[in-house]
Structure 1
Amino acid sequence: MPEEDRSAKVGGSADRSAIITGDSNTATITITNYYYRDTTVVPIESTDVSSENLVCPYRGLFHFGPDDAEFFFGREVFVEELFAATQNRNFIPVLGASGSGKSSVVLAGLVPKLQQSSHWKFTHFRPGSDPFHALALALVPLYTQNLDATDKIIQARKLSQSLGDAEISLADVFAQIHQNHPTDRVLLIADQFEEIYTLCADHKIRHSFLDSLLVSFQSSAYQSQYNHVLVATMRADFLGNALSYPAFGDVLKTDIKLRSMNHDELSQVIAKPAEKLGVTFEGGLVERILDDVEDEPGNLPLLEFALTELWKQRKGKQLTHAAYQHIGKVQGALARHADRNYGKLSAAQKEQVRRIFIQLVHPGEGTQDTRRVATKAELGEERWKLVKQLADDRLVVTSQNAANQETVEVVHEALIRNWEELGKWMKADRSFRAWQETLRFAMLQWQKMQRDEGALLRGAVLTEAEEKLKQRREELSKGEQEFIQASVALRQGSKQRIYLSLGGIGSILLLALGIWGWLNYTTSGQLTQIRWQLTNISQQITSPEYQSQAAVAFAKDENYDQALKLANQIQDSRYKARALSAIAQAIGKLKQPEKAAPLLENVIASANQIQDS
């Protein structure tokens, strides 16, 4: 008889998962917008029938959730610290290394404790690439009641837009939620908060989102308890990114850091869950495992995975040294598991698995690589069959996002760090993946702007994209291919049109005199295109057209020093005049004619250098 699968299945209600904690007498804990991961459980290799139906008290590479609380040990001190913080603070950043158990301590430690102590509503989100929308999905079920699934999606999009445009504040939203639930406090769980740096590429959206949170979750010396509390878990290696935005950095001065477990706490993690089920460790095995666990919080997933594999190898109600040796011990269990399942595949399947996995890793820039969520549409129908097999092997996790799209991600970042094969793939394809992530950001902006042709690729950037399309078409999604092809089509169409030539003094003076209206007709899509080109500025800066566009982009971002620096480097007078006039226009909008006027004089001077053509 196979072991009981304790995981709540993904699916059903799109906005809440009901999680039952512990025994049958415990109240139901409902976390809105929380999708608990599904896992396939393999039957144990035991001949003792009486022990076959024991649930596995270890979670492998999955975090502990509310229904795992009875088996969650070793973090009691930290849970108490978090609980105390919720009584007098309303923004609680929780920082720790990848794999240190940040999600588990909130979901399996803090949430059940709050549920027992008072009346709370819990809601959960991960920022993803569109943090306002992710937040709206978490709030709509509490904010607007009695909606069907379609209306919830519509309301989430409306709320996301209103929050992003600052038409309403989060304080307004929580005031309505409190009106709907007057006797409850609300815990908003922002899990994997580092996604605002790894997945949200637009720094203006990121800063606007942070500002929205910071304004709505301000602590006050005159208030001892808050109706709504935000707990944000974030990897400690992104602290530098966070501190670069001073307003957020101030909040992080009072963060709660998840330290490494001491010897006694790790011993509880190993022995206590099995002890609750009457299962023992062979003499000296707990100490042996402790010796093998290096003093790094990020090794907890490796420990949990090894214990899960060890559990499946138990003999009756005992865990043995021989079984521990067989699984490869703590450091080798995960890699051995991945290698074993990868080794079963054909050569063609192995190549497809490589392509799948590099899409599930976001290449770090000065930080460790992180996992990335990919959709079925990105990977394609054929690869999705293999994705399901990888999910059965517990190497990836499949789920659904808010738009009911099927998604997949690496089961845990420990796999990224510890599976040698995946490390080799990322080393070989790092530059391609970094380029692809930049392409995706530009594509998403194009799609958001109703496919404005101004957001399409141009120049050297388009040339590079064409080469990538020829070389690695199968590794680009249909959407990415379409984006590149649309850019190529625009360029080909442009060659057949007659463009206004700015040759001659008369034309350039018309440009100078008309600059006050010229920039007003520059679309947001064109601005996105310019920003896209700026990503490769260090390589392409010798092109006068490129220099001009870069200067204009900096001017629009009000970085006038950099804009002027670039404009003055332009050797071609036509492009230099265009850049200077655009900068003058931007400064003119700020009502600084004393700065704009000299720039217009430079435009005229540049015009004098242009020969009629």
Structure 2
Amino acid sequence: MGRQEKPVDPAAGPVAVFALALRQLRKEAGSPTYGTMARHATAYSAATFSRAAAGEQLPTLPVLHAYVAACGGDPVEWEHRWARVSDELASRAAESSDEPAPYLGLARFEPGDSDLYFGRDRLVHDLLALTDRHRVVAVFGSSGSGKSSLLRAGLVPRLRERSVPTAAVRLLTPGGRPLSRHREALRPADAPGDTWLIVDQFEELFTLCQDTGERNGFLAGLLAAREPGSRLHVVLGIRADFYPHCLTHTEFAQTIRRASLPVSPLTRDELRKAIIGPATARSLVVERALTATLIDEVHGRSAGLPFLSHALLETWRRRRGRTLTLEGYERAGAMRGVIAQSAEAAYARMDPAQAETTRQVMLRLITPGAEAPDTRRPTSRREIESTGDVRETRTVLDILARARLITLDGDTVDLAHEALITAWPRLHAWIEEDREKLRLHRWLTDAAEAWESVGRDPGVRISPVRLTQLDAHFTTPADRGRLTTLEADFIAAGRATHRRGNRVRWTARAVVPLLAMMTVIAARLAWGQNRATRQHPLAAPAPYTTAAAVCPPPTRSRRRTRGS
């Protein structure tokens, strides 16, 4: 058993409670000595295991794994418990400090974050040079490559700093009805200089816009910028896996073929700047060992930037004084599980009702792919809040926003980053469980919004196949509770039209046999009359009347012969 451990007061906080749980695990394993545990783990000393259960500080995740393995515990369960404590400690530290974070986590850089945007000087320079040669430019990059941040925190500030007069810089995303929503933005501003249209998340033109007329009209408005006298410049941010979609429009394909810029992964030197630069801007220091570890883990990964930024944010929350340390990074869960742990920690603090609301909110923000990856789906607060208790939904939105899982921008709710779709196992499982229902729901939402845009025509038609699918997927009270008022009204209107059509068809089915019967009766009567005419010709009425028939000629009477 070894020497007696110092008592731990559970009232001292979450670290003390966690330490007591570790001691209980060791007791249930037969109370092996720390020396025995160290011989089992080999990588850690008895003193390291003793400190892990002392209750003075939270052990690192690798130490926890070794401790739990030596005691025969469940590593997944203990990792979740550790993540909850780690996140609670980080939240307390963040709440007690007014110092702004130098890293944005999963959130993208905005124009106002340009003082923290490092590592992309070369790419910004190349993009500006390309816009000098072409009026319509496309920036292609994989999800997580940093193309949105490049446009917003890299390009926009440089455009505003140029000596050349700029009439306006407009930053927009297409949405579901791009032409209707941005018709005015496609026109040059009434001021000296050119107007710049920065269209981020251009793939929404294919994932959210279902109206071919809207899509083609919006494209035509963008392509009009190619004319020298248009006074417009267009820069598009497009996810690389949607490049084939862009080729379906011949004129657009020819344009981007001549003026495209790929967003390549950062070099090792650029990664070093992206890691150290924001910390230096906030008078912080990044431990060399941490910098080297992060570079090794992220270099060459095309979608590694959101993971890097989030890991740095969580490491900053666990900093030691003014220094970001490798130990703090490991306590945050390292690159392997930092996003999932942060998401799980936020989810674990919710009560059952909030957890279910979180599931519905997160799924509303997803467009499931059909022969394409799943994508984010920005939507309105109005849509989100109309599916349940408004107060509870707003509470959940606030929790998710503070955990950096979603962003709230005015009336728009969006995933903080598409990396969440694959990095958070729980969310990925929700999508897989509801994939078919999600696809149907996305169709329903788009169709209902289109129906509302034309004045809610009461005669709207929904195909019998679709109605059957809707009945199959949205029949229980829980399922119906996921629908917005607009979606429910759309289904009700479609069902009413279907019932009216059925009544017409049933009436037709009843009338047709009656008419057929009357036709048969009439035919039989006609046949009978015709037969009677053939049998009694003198009784048959003349088909038409003549003067001779009315006034027959006088007949000669035979002279009677009398006998003499």
Q: TM-score over 0.5 for the alignment?
A: yes
Question: 1:45 is matched with which residue: 84, 89, 93?
Answer: 93
CA shift for structure 1 position 65: 2.0
Query: Which residue does the alignment assign to 1:130?
Result: 177
How far is the alpha carbon of 1:310 from its aligned partner? 1.1
Shift of 1:133: 2.7
1:323 to 319, 325, 328: 328
Letter of the aligned partner of 2:443 in structure 1? T
Pairwise mapping of residues 351-370 of structure 1 onto structure 2 (< 5 A)?
Answer: 351-370=356-375
Task: Map 1:133-172; keep pairs closer than 5 Å.
Answer: 133-136=180-183, 139=185
CA distance in structure 2 between the aligned counterparts of 1:43 and 1:461, rounded to whole angstroms = 47
- Partner SS for 1:234: strand
The CA distance in 2 between the partners of 1:45 and 1:446, in whole Å, is 49
CA gap of 1:320–1:69, structure 2 versus 1, over 3 A, is: same
| Cα distance per residue 1:152-177 (max 9 Å; x no partner) | xxxxxxxxxxxxxxxxxx5xx32xx3
Residues in 2 aligned to 1:82 and 1:298: alpha-carbon distance in whole angstroms: 20
Aligned pair partner of 2:453 in 443, 448, 467: 448
Question: What amino acid does structure 1 have at the position aligned with 2:171?
Answer: H
Q: Cα distance 1:46–1:433, how it changes in 2: closer, same or farther (>3 A)?
A: closer
1:266 and 2:282 aligned: no
1:376 to 1:392, Cα distance in 2 relative to 1, 3 A: same
Alignment-derived partner of residue 482 in structure 2 = 475
Contact kept? 1:65, 1:107, Cα under 8 Å: yes
State which structure, 1 or 2, has the greater radius of gyration over its C-alpha atoms.
Answer: 2
RMSD between superposed Cα atoms in Å: 2.7
Q: Which runs of 5+ in 1 are unaligned?
A: 1-41, 140-169, 401-405, 505-613
Residue 406 of structure 2 corresponds to 396
Verify the 8 A CA contact 2:179 2:215 in the aligned structure 1.
Answer: no
Alignment partners' CA distance in 2, 1:332 and 1:54: 26
- Letter of the aligned partner of 1:339 in structure 2? E
Amino acid of the residue matched to residue 221 of structure 2?
Answer: S
Q: Distance in 2 between matches of 1:459 and 1:55?
A: 56
Residues 276-299 of structure 1 show CA distances to partners (whole Å, capped at 9, x for unaligned) of 333222232210111122522211
Identify the residue that residue 153 of structure 2 maps to in structure 1. Answer: 108
Alignment map for 1:407-422 (pairs within 5 Å)? 407-422=412-427
* Residue identity in the other structure for 2:207: T
Gaps of 5+ in 2: 1-89, 514-564
- Separation of aligned partners in 2, 1:295 and 1:76: 18
Distance, in Å, in 2 between the alignment partners of 1:383 and 1:54 is: 29
Aligned partners of 1:415, 1:316: CA distance in 2, in Å? 30
Q: Secondary structure at the match of 2:195?
A: strand
Work out which of the residue numbers 84, 88, 103 in structure 2 matches 1:58. Answer: 103
Distance 1:384 1:53 in 2: 24
Contact in 1 for aligned 2:180/2:214 (Cα 8 Å): no
Separation in 2, partners of 1:411, 1:90: 30
* Partner residue in 2 for 1:463: 468
The residue that corresponds to 1:257 in the other structure is 262
What CA deviation, in whole Å up to 9, does each residue of 1:226-285 have, x standing for no partner?
732111111011001111222211122131111111111111111122123332222322
Look up the equivalent residue of 2:456 and give its one-letter code.
Answer: R
Q: 1:218 aligns with which of 215, 221, 226?
A: 226
Preserved contact between residue 391 and residue 398 of structure 1 (Cα < 8 Å): yes
Q: Distance in 2 between matches of 1:73 and 1:376?
A: 33
Give the aligned partner of residue 240 of structure 1: 244
Amino acid at match of 1:237: D
Distance 1:102 1:134 in 2: 23
For residues 167-182 of structure 1, what are the structure 2 equivalents within 5 Å?
173-174=187-188, 177=189, 180-182=190-192
Q: Is the 8 A contact 1:46 1:314 kept in 2?
A: no
Q: How far, CA to CA, are the matches of 1:435 and 1:105 in structure 2?
A: 34
Which residue of 1 is the match for residue 492 of structure 2? 485
1:297 partner SS: coil
Amino acid at match of 1:136: R
User: In the alignment, what sits opposite 2:292?
Assistant: 287
Contact 1:446/1:456, CA 8 A, preserved across alignment: no
TM-score (normalizing by structure 2): 0.69
Q: Deviations over 1:192-228 (max 9, x none)?
A: 11100110012232123212321x1226xxx6x9732
Is 1:296 equivalent to 2:301 in the alignment? yes
Do the aligned residues in 1 keep the contact of 2:179 with 2:217 (CA within 8 Å)? no
Distance 1:358 1:129 in 2: 17
| Alignment correspondent of 1:307 | 312
Question: In structure 2, do the counterparts of structure 1 residues 388 and 53 end up closer, same or farther at CA, with 3 Å as the change threshold?
Answer: closer
Count, aligned residues: 414
Matched, 1:209 2:209: no
Q: Which residue of 2 aligns with 1:74?
A: 119
What do the CA deviations read for 1:441-474 (whole angstroms, capped 9, x no partner)? 3223322332234532132222222233313211
Asked whether 1:189 is paired with 2:198, we answer yes
State the SS of the aligned residue for 2:304.
Answer: helix
Which range moves more in the overlay, 291-300 or 474-483? 291-300
Contact in 1 for aligned 2:106/2:405 (Cα 8 Å): no
- 2:222 and 2:252 map into 1 onto residues whose CA distance is 10
For 2:450 and 2:151, how far apart are their aligned partners in 1? 34
Within the candidate set 494, 509, 515, 2:501 is matched to 494
Alpha-carbon distance in 2 for matches of 1:45, 1:439: 44
Tell me the equivalent position of 2:23: none
Q: Is the Cα–Cα contact under 8 Å of residues 144 and 302 in structure 2 kept in the other structure?
A: yes
SS of residue matched to 1:229:
strand
Check whether the contact 2:459–2:497 (CA below 8 A) recurs between aligned residues.
no
Q: Deviations over 1:412-455 (max 9, x none)?
A: 11111200000000000010010111222322332233223453
Distance in 2 between the 1:212 and 1:345 partners?
A: 46
Counterpart CA distance in 2 for 1:110 and 1:239 is 22
Match of residue 90, structure 1, among 130, 135, 144? 135
Alpha-carbon contact 2:407-2:415 (below 8 Å) kept: yes
Report if the CA contact (8 A) 1:314-1:320 is conserved. Answer: yes
1:496 deviation in Å? 3.5
Q: 1:384 pairs with 386, 394, 401, which one? A: 394
- Supply the AA of the counterpart residue of 1:197: F
1:350-378 deviation per Cα after TM superposition (whole angstroms, max 9, x unaligned): 22211221111111122221111233333
CA shift, 1:44, in A, is 7.4
